A = this chain, B = another copy of it.
Amino acid sequence: MRPRPVTLGDVAREAGVSRSTASEALSGRGRMTESTRLAVRDTAVRLGYRPNALAQSLRTGRTGAIALHHQHAADSFSSQYFREFVAGAMDVTSARDHDLTLLASDPTTPRATLPRVDGVIIADPIADDVRALELLTSGIPVVAGERYPPGMPTSPVVGVHHEQALRDVLDHVHGLGVRRPALVGPDAHSGWGVVLRETVDDWSAERGLVTAHRTIAFASGFTTSHEDLVGELLDAEPGVDLLLVPSEAVALGAIAALRARSSEPGRDVLVVSCADAQMLGLTDPPVTAIDLGPRALGAACARALLSVVEDDAELPPLTLIPATLSLRASTELRASTAGGASTELPGSTEPRRSADLRRDAVRA
């Protein structure tokens, strides 16, 4: 039996306030102490309250703007991924004559007032971001760009099909002899980290293999010393023959850690980044990566959100868009070396190709 949806009355009763105070607390209006407002919001999050977005929009009227929220908006602007994501969202909003509001971020302090927008894209939702929680309980329609981590209220999600892309690259390197993968992944604060971990574990289990894991904080901007982290992993797990990393910074750390141990990246140990970046084509060796297509994802999120705002569309909980692989020397050196380390290779030393595999900058 489907449970009865949580109502505003439920939230008010549980928080010990009137219905109108609860409504004002969630919409950022009204006068009350900050602790009351936060208590009501916490209660709404805990109960899983979702206000009626349509009623909300009829009450407030259209603004012609949608917003983009990211936990570290200003910092993230230096990442190629986020700039491309914004560019994709802007492609769509501009073509549909909507403004795109980049929201001020501060993961520990609530906003003074709710943004005056018709809907919000939450890019890379992170579990403990109070502003994301605020938006999710505000009644403003929300679409998330990437999946929610466990324990967070949710909205419809538009994300990348990481499972498919990761399985493609794992199958490819398996054909090159990989038997002991290691994932240096984002922690469970990010939905992406959870998907990567589950996919690698499932894939390994299906083949009787075991994955080694190390996690780094997604929200930290990956600031741990990556070379030390990967070095510790390599020393503790000497059989590892594939390093899956989350970013170009960790890829560089992995290359340095391998070389420091006289292990040749791309031949002795393969390296794959789960997110592509321009720089990964320029490293020595260039690093095979999953191209997440952030511009296409930003555009898909904006289109989905505008379909809710303008057409009251009912979105599915999860829409996945495909990623592509960029095969580079950090996996392909082994493929091109006859009599290399890959004793368990299938008959041919040519890598398996698929329609989804794109080669570039492979140095033989």
| Known contacts A64-B113, A90-B77, A116-B116: A101-B104 contact under CB 8 Å | no
Q: Mask for A50-93, Cβ within 8 A of B = 1, else 0?
A: 00000000000001110100000110011000010011001101
State how many angstroms separate the Cβ of A191 from the closest Cβ of chain B: 23
Q: What is the count of identical protomers in the complex?
A: 2
Is there an interface contact between B116 and A94, defined as CB atoms closer than 8 Å?
no
State how many angstroms separate the Cβ of A28 from the closest Cβ of chain B: 11
Give the nearest-CB partner of A96 in chain B: B104
Complex interface: chain B residues within 8 A of A201 (CB): none
Complex interface: chain B residues within 8 A of A93 (CB): 74, 102, 104
State how many angstroms separate the Cβ of A115 from the closest Cβ of chain B: 6
The reply to whether the CB of A161 lies closer than 8 angstroms to some CB of chain B is: no
The B-contacting residues of A in range 333-355, CB under 8 angstroms, are none
Is there an interface contact between B94 and A99, defined as CB atoms closer than 8 Å?
no
Complex interface: chain B residues within 8 A of A63 (CB): 116
| Known contacts A77-B86, A83-B83: A104-B94 contact under CB 8 Å | yes
Is there an interface contact between A67 and B99, defined as CB atoms closer than 8 Å?
yes
The reply to whether the CB of A32 lies closer than 8 angstroms to some CB of chain B is: no
| Known contacts A100-B101, A103-B99, A106-B97: A90-B74 contact under CB 8 Å | yes
Is there an interface contact between A102 and B102, defined as CB atoms closer than 8 Å?
yes
Is there an interface contact between A98 and B87, defined as CB atoms closer than 8 Å?
no
Is there an interface contact between B74 and A95, defined as CB atoms closer than 8 Å?
yes
Which residue in B77, B83, B102, B105 is a CB contact (below 8 Å) of A101?
B102
State how many angstroms separate the Cβ of A164 from the closest Cβ of chain B: 28
Q: In the docked arrangement, what's the CA distance between A111 and B65, Å?
A: 12
Q: In the docked arrangement, what's the CA distance between A105 and B100, Å?
A: 11
Is there an interface contact between B115 and A94, defined as CB atoms closer than 8 Å?
no
Complex interface: chain B residues within 8 A of A96 (CB): 104
The reply to whether the CB of A364 lies closer than 8 angstroms to some CB of chain B is: no
Is there an interface contact between B102 and A99, defined as CB atoms closer than 8 Å?
yes
The reply to whether the CB of A112 lies closer than 8 angstroms to some CB of chain B is: yes
The B-contacting residues of A in range 105-147, CB under 8 angstroms, are 105-106, 111-113, 115-116
Is there an interface contact between A102 and B104, defined as CB atoms closer than 8 Å?
no
Most buried by B among A93, A95, A99, A104: A99
Binding site for B on A (CB under 8 A): 63-65, 67, 73-74, 77-78, 83, 86-87, 90-91, 93-106, 111-113, 115-116
Q: Which 8 residue pairs of A and B lie closest in terms of their CB atoms, listed nearest first?
A: A74-B94, A77-B87, A101-B101, A100-B102, A97-B104, A99-B101, A116-B116, A94-B104
> Could you pull out 10 A-B pairs where Cβ atoms are within 8 angstroms?
A63-B116, A67-B99, A74-B91, A74-B94, A83-B87, A99-B101, A99-B102, A99-B103, A99-B115, A116-B116
Known: A96-B104, A101-B102. 9 other contacts (CB 8 A): A64-B115, A73-B94, A77-B90, A83-B87, A93-B104, A97-B104, A99-B104, A99-B115, A100-B101
